[in-house]
Amino acid sequence: MTTGRSSFPATGRQRQFDALVRSLSGDLFRYAYWLSSDEALAHDLVQETFLRAWRALDSLREATSAKAWLITILRREHARLYERKIPQFADIDDVDVPEERDAHMPEFAGEEGLIRSAMLKLDPKYREPLLMQVLGGFSCDEIARELNITPAAVMTQVFRARQKLKAILAGDKPFGARVELS
Amino acid sequence: MNCLEFRRQLNIDPHVDGDFAQHRVACARCADAHARACGFERTLRHALDVAVPANLAESILLAQATREQRDRRPLRRRATWIAAAAMAVLAVGVGTKLQSKPLPDIAVSHLKKEAFVLGKTHPIGDDEIRNAFATFGIALNDVPAGSSFVACCPVGKFVSVHLVVPENEGPVTVLYVIDDRHEQRQDFIKDGWFGRSIPLAHGTLVLLGHDAAHFDQLENVWSASLRSATFKA
């Protein structure tokens, strides 16, 4: 792939970007959703990620590394969001408590719903490497590079993430139901 | 690899090969545990596959095209005329199909297609709004404040300037449909949206929102702005 900006014909660059958006925006949205726990915020994050990616498209050297590259941009954008976030204060009576809210939403019903609720309860430290592995399809070494931690730490975190998830699920199951744990 | 290491690896990554796979073949109990773990992984994967918003890719590409256009301001004048011409062709081309639909239906349908812009809250500059109207030969003297989005959009067989005004009660969409002047001012409710259409100058101003609290104020400021505007033939 050519990397110099001037050597890319404008239409070729646009076609490359279109292909990236169409093939990876769904995966990125899901990743952003579980990172931020908010659909609207996830939409904004993905859009901003691709706008930054468009400006830096020439730094993408291999198409096969596009997903990892975009996830790096998205994580930075997410971190930036919290750097400039101003705390919002609301009356305690007006607060939409996630557990109460989730109980009434169809996407939080059934077995997959229980897992979704459990994922949202996981500490981000455990949730993120698990997301990268399950949603992103990354190996422990790739996750380690992205999160800037050792592969051993990644293994520990995904191990604990699964254990915690299964423990939360076992606790959330209605009385009499049994969750089969490996 | 022994059973303990195998069970640990199950919780780290149950899809690896090598010693892990060999132990699975050799140990029936661990093979059962592996099958259960794979079932859990499938359920986990499905649970994480949350629904992606409709038209996500299109909304990103539109945002990129809009920003790209803004960044190339020197070329803008020629590009806007091309865009206007393209929209006119599009309007004529598809207009016959949409001609019979009433304006409230067409406006709400357009709003739904571009629902993602309702989330925009950052104020835009007066020049962007002036340029959008200028695309259709309308020179605004006064630009009402408070808009967070503007674009030139085909609406049915006509073209329009599409704006979003964020309010405390929720965003209000302001559409000025050009050359489609309705006879009467009317309030309507369509698919849960409150709406108002106001014949104004050579077109119709349409307001849409989940709350109509700001309709009077928006009607006043946009009526004043469009009445004082210059319309080129």
Torsion angles phi and psi, residue A102, rounded to 5: -60, -35
Six-digit token string for B163: 């704006």
Per-residue pLDDT for chain B (233 aa), expressed as one digit of tens each?
Answer: 888 989 888 889 888 778 888 888 888 999 988 888 888 888 888 888 888 988 888 889 888 888 877 766 555 555 666 666 666 555 555 444 444 578 888 888 888 877 778 888 888 989 889 988 887 788 899 999 999 988 887 777 777 889 999 988 889 999 998 877 777 889 999 888 899 999 988 889 999 998 889 999 999 999 999 989 888 75
Q: pTM, whole model, 2 decimals?
A: 0.54
CB < 8 Å to B43, chain A: 111-112, 115
Where residue B18 falls (left for φ over 0; alpha for ψ -120 to 50; beta otherwise) is left
Name the residue in chain A with its Cα closest to that of B60. Answer: A47
Q: Which of B7, B9, B30, B52 to mutate to test the interface with A (most CBs of A within 10 A)?
A: B52
Torsion angles phi and psi, residue B13, rounded to 5: -165, 105
Region A35-61 average pLDDT: 88
Partner-chain contact B8 A159, CB within 8 Å: yes
Name the residue in chain B with its Cα closest to that of A134. Answer: B45
Q: Is the ipTM of this complex over 0.85?
A: no
pLDDT in tens, B149-193: 888 877 777 778 899 999 888 899 999 988 777 778 899 998 888
Residues 6+ apart with CB under 8 A from B38: B14
B163: helix, strand or coil: strand
